[in-house]
Chains A and B, each alone.
Chain A
Amino acid sequence: MNPSSFFHPAAEDSVFLSSEPLHPASLLQQCQHPECGGLVMFCGDVRLRNMGRQVSAIEYEVYVPLAQKTIRQILLDAIQTYQLGTAHAVHRIGLVPVGQTAVVVVTAHRHRMEAYKANEEIIYRIKHEVPIWKKEIFTEGDFHWASNDTPRELNAP
């Protein structure tokens, strides 16, 4: 495999936000790496029920300039910490109906354990550090802004 053919988040044209439906299999394929025997993919889908109520969709609001920069940095941090072959993540923007994928994280390492650990760390940091907010829209038509119970040290100026 040509080493330049797999995805790397440092590439200037990397995109980590999408207003179009995600294609997890394609993202996984982009991360296949000749030195990596373990690939882990996490998909976060919009689920039907939350807080005992039926959800019709989630609308994701994003502060794009900082979200794009922060996701790239989280991926680069994980590559360095876990010595990954590569890592990728894409998060949806806008309205995402129940059953569609809202976020995908892929990690590739020589072995599976590091790929699992890095993947978990990346999705945790995306949920708590990236300026993205979910508005849960219920089937009755009302909505609320969800919380991820972010630890205080990860927020506040």
Chain B
Amino acid sequence: MQVLFFAGLKKYFQPAIEMPAHDTVASLLAALKAQQHEASELLDQSRFAQGDQILMLDSPIQAHEPIVVLPPSSGG
């Protein structure tokens, strides 16, 4: 599955990476933290989405659609 990163998360990850399939956001989050320990705090503050839908930790992931990781907003 494809995972896309934005803003400060790109300090730790390439903008787009391929990950093994995960059933839920919680499982993917744990895998990302294991891959980049230094990003753990920022990952814990981030939201996950597919398309225009925000996902909850127990939300199932649609494997065919990229999942995006959104750090805290800083617009305005």
A contacts, CB < 8 Å to B = 44, 60-63, 65-66, 68-69, 91, 102-103, 123, 126-135, 145-148, 150, 152, 155-157
Q: How far is the CB of A148 from chain B (nearest CB, A)?
A: 5
* A147/B48 contact (C-beta < 8 A), A61-B6, A157-B57 known: no
A69 surroundings in chain B (CB, below 8 A): 52
Q: Identify which of A61, A91, A147 contacts B72 (C-beta below 8 A).
A: A147
Q: Kindly state whether residue B76 has any CB partner on chain A within 8 Å.
A: yes
A132, B47: Cβ atoms closer than 8 Å: no
CB of B8 within 8 A of CB of A133, answer yes
How would you classify the secondary structure of chain A's contact residues: helix, strand, loop or mixed? mixed
Closest to A157 in B: B57
Task: State the CA gap A156–B57 with chains docked (Å).
Answer: 9
Q: Which residue of A lies closest to B26 (CB)?
A: A157
Cβ–Cβ contact B45 & A63, under 8 A: no
A133 & B7 in contact (Cβ 8 Å cutoff):
yes
B47 touches A157 (CB 8 A): yes
Complex formed: what's the CA distance from A66 to B67 in Å? 12
In the assembled complex, 16 residue pairs joining A and B whose CB atoms fall closer than 8 Å, in A order, are A63-B68, A103-B76, A126-B76, A127-B74, A128-B73, A129-B73, A131-B6, A131-B47, A131-B73, A132-B75, A134-B75, A148-B73, A150-B45, A155-B73, A157-B25, A157-B57
Residues of B within 8 A of A (CB): 6-8, 11, 25, 29, 44-49, 51-52, 54-57, 59, 68, 70-76
| CB-based nearest B residue for A129 | B73
**Contacts A65-B51, A65-B52, A133-B8 known; A155 to B75 CB distance under 8 Å?**
no
Task: Determine whether the beta carbon of B73 is less than 8 Å from that of A150.
Answer: yes
Asked if A156 and B44 make an inter-chain contact with CB atoms under 8 angstroms apart, the answer reads yes
| Contact indicator B6/A126 (Cβ below 8 Å) | no
C-alpha gap A156/B73 in the complex (Å): 11
Q: Which 7 A-B pairs have the closest CB atoms?
A: A132-B75, A133-B7, A127-B76, A145-B8, A65-B52, A150-B72, A69-B52
